Chains A and B, each alone.
Chain A
């Protein structure tokens, strides 16, 4: 659903209100709620970044967690070993993740469909194994970053990152020539090439940009939780959640990933509060993916449209029955 080009007053008011709430939130809610909001912002950013590659371009990656983890570790190592300040470390982590993704993307993007999914999955697992055996990353002991305990700070960092990713998605993917090119790659790559599109370059750009954002968010995450470990930042759960959030919300749309991130993250936090750390979360996660794919492949965002259609259909049946009486 593209945001229409018209500037209706309602839309402007909603936008302003949302911005005001988002920017004053730390002063309105408890630190517990604020931390949840921070997590929501982080996952909105991650889901939107995955959607660039998987939704707009149709290259479903099961290894996007690798970019997140690589960014987390680069930022972490820059801060612990080179004692760089946070924002510098973050920017460098972003740049290095971009370069890393560009290099990895070049061979990987030659794969298509299922092979691409398996390839990214395998690559991400390999990264986790690699970080586990290397000592410079702290290996299985993990990496401890300089502590920073400021809820407001991290909320605004994650908010800013989420807004940046959203703007990039809105300006460059949803309503632009570049976005059309990306979607053309998704629809019919060969035909797109015969229309003058350099699809290799387009794919590489999207892969790199999408990974870069995940990496920057990973770097911020590392500083936020202070201690990272291959299982926490390079484990399959990060990639799983990104995929499910976007599928749940509506793949290939602008607001789908946002909706999916909010629903899943809040649901997860609720479960944590009620039942503690539980593997039951995995059951719900897996079950949700299956249900969404079976019954709502276009995600929650398509629900209003489907209900409307079913509504008019049943009205049609009613009319028909009345006529034939």
Chain B
């Protein structure tokens, strides 16, 4: 089977995970109005937590996913008031202060991981690690296939939640206009807390998959923060459909550049494209962003 097709498939598959990350990130931005520089670190922590739990309990990382999702959702829930306090600061550059705060948070988490666990790569091994699926003559690494499937299910569930349930609609209302939503009896603080915990839980969970597909090391956060920014900016902040398109774009670009140009060029090209999109298409590729 052709290299092109394989690369294409891999790109789409990895894109699926990026979409999940981007959707959570985007909604968190919409409701709380902060750009979380630490998004990559939540991924890294999810991967590491799975790694250490696997080492000590021997339970397969994939089976640990529900636990990790809930655990990190709880962490997000507990930590959110701190973030809220930062967002509420009465300073002339309040939004920037929040951004700088998450920037500090990411440095703190990354430093902690480096100090505790060292620079080395770890491998997160699951029962699916070496297996492949054969579908219509195409070979998929099983783990990627499962990851994408899972991402699709989770993203679809999240979409259903946002668009079809009462709580979901209040979240979207709060994201569009906190003040007016407040006037209609929507408790902004409760919503923010809920959204932030969902976001952290989802992101850490995605980290487990990423850890299985690639590898786990403390510096990995930086690149996924960049990816998250890419998807959200290219897709347009807050746009669900934009996140899907941009996630797939990111997956395809990184896959193709990696295979046909060289791994070292992936980031160069990605950052360059991100920069161009920011400057020339500020509302994202589909023009639907905030």
Contacts and interface: CB of A to CB of B under 8 A. Distances in A.
Given A119-B279, A133-B264, A289 B101 contact: yes
Contact of A187 (B91, B92, B97): B92
A58 B108 contact: no
B112 interface: yes
Interface residues of B, number: 42
Contact of B282 (A115, A126, A132): A115
A125 B270 CA distance: 10
Contacts of B282: 111, 115
A131 B35 CA distance: 28
A19 interface: no
Interface string A257-296: 0000000000000000000001111111111111001100
A126 B278 contact: no
Contacts of B101: 289-290, 293-294
B275 A285 contact: no
Nearest to B104: A289
Given A114-B35, A122-B229, A282 B110 contact: yes
Given A289-B100, A293-B89, A118 B229 contact: yes
Contact of A119 (B82, B104, B275): B275
Interface residues of A, number: 45
Contacts of A278: 115
Contacts of B278: 111, 115, 118-119, 122
B279 A243 contact: no
Given A113-B96, A117-B96, A294 B85 contact: yes
Interface in B236-290: 264-265, 267-268, 271-272, 274-275, 278-280, 282
Given A123-B275, A187-B92, A279 B100 contact: no
A244 B274 CA distance: 25
Nearest to B93: A58
A281 B108 CA distance: 9
B34 to A, nearest CB: 8
B268 A294 contact: no
A107 interface: yes
A33 to B, nearest CB: 28
Contact of A293 (B97, B271, B272): B97
Contact of A60 (B96, B111, B268, B280): B96
A247 B100 contact: yes
A286 B97 contact: no
B233 A118 contact: yes
Contacts of B91: 297-298
B86 A113 contact: no
A286 B105 contact: yes
A60 B93 CA distance: 9
Interface in A219-275: 236, 240, 243-244, 247
B272 A280 contact: no
Task: Give the interface centre of A62, A115, A126 by most chain B CB atoms within 10 Å.
Answer: A126
Nearest to B94: A297
A191 interface: no
B111 A293 contact: no
Given A133-B265, A285-B111, A243 B100 contact: yes
A32 to B, nearest CB: 26
Given A115-B282, A119-B275, A289-B104, A281 B89 contact: no
B222 interface: yes
Contacts of A293: 86, 89, 97, 100-101, 104
B279 A289 contact: no
Nearest to A117: B99
A263 to B, nearest CB: 16
A115 B101 CA distance: 16
Given A58-B92, A130-B268, A286-B105, 10 more contacts: A117-B35, A123-B271, A125-B226, A125-B267, A129-B268, A133-B264, A282-B107, A286-B107, A289-B100, A297-B97
19 contacts: A60-B99, A111-B279, A114-B95, A115-B233, A117-B35, A118-B278, A119-B275, A125-B226, A125-B271, A126-B267, A129-B271, A133-B268, A279-B114, A280-B111, A280-B115, A283-B111, A293-B97, A293-B101, A294-B86
- Nearest 8 pairs between A and B by C-beta? A282-B111, A289-B104, A286-B108, A286-B107, A279-B114, A126-B271, A129-B268, A283-B111
Interface of B: 35, 82, 85-86, 89, 91-93, 95-97, 99-101, 103-112, 114-115, 222, 226, 229, 233, 264-265, 267-268, 271-272, 274-275, 278-280, 282
